[in-house]
Amino acid sequence: MHREFDLTKALQLSDGEGRQFFLQQIKPNVKLIELSGASVTIPSMIIPSVVWGCFTYVNTAITGATGFHIGTPADTDAWANNAPVTVKSRTNFGHYTDLTVRISPTNQDVVITAVGPNFSGGILEVTHYYSDFVN
């Protein structure tokens, strides 16, 4: 389940006012989620960081819904719009509705929303890729 995505060098950035910070390697945050109802919220999955993306892998066939969206409460389909529900299907950049790298100054929830009928079952692996800030 755990996937390593290692960039061995930190990226040094400046804010233009003399302050510098470093962007650390890209890290995964992985959760297994049981699906039921109209939507499932993963509380505070996104920590304060640079958000590179959120991807999914269907571990157990999703039943009820004909597809799903994945995003945040403010942008419910940011990382997937009508993603497939079959076993072993994955989301990728082709499912994104917005390819923008995001900066999250606070914790954020990830929301998985059923397309069509509600979820009646299934297990979804959700992976959020991020980089920490270090001063």
The better pLDDT of the pair 9, 86 is held by 86
The stretch 46-67 carries a mean pLDDT of 93
Residue 124 confidence (pLDDT): 97
Residue 97 confidence (pLDDT): 87
**Band of pLDDT at residue 11, cut at 50, 70 and 90:** low
DSSP category for residue 90? B
- Residue 2, Cβ density class (10 Å: 0-12 exposed, 13-18 middle, ≥19 buried): exposed
24 pLDDT higher than 70: no
* Domain boundaries of the chain, sorted by first residue: 30-127
The better pLDDT of the pair 89, 103 is held by 89
**Band of pLDDT at residue 15, cut at 50, 70 and 90:** low
Strands (E), 75-120: 80-83, 102-104, 108-115
Residue 2 confidence (pLDDT): 39
Q: How large a percentage of the chain has pLDDT more than 90?
A: 57
The better pLDDT of the pair 100, 62 is held by 62
User: Domain 30-127 carries which CATH code?
Assistant: 2.60.120
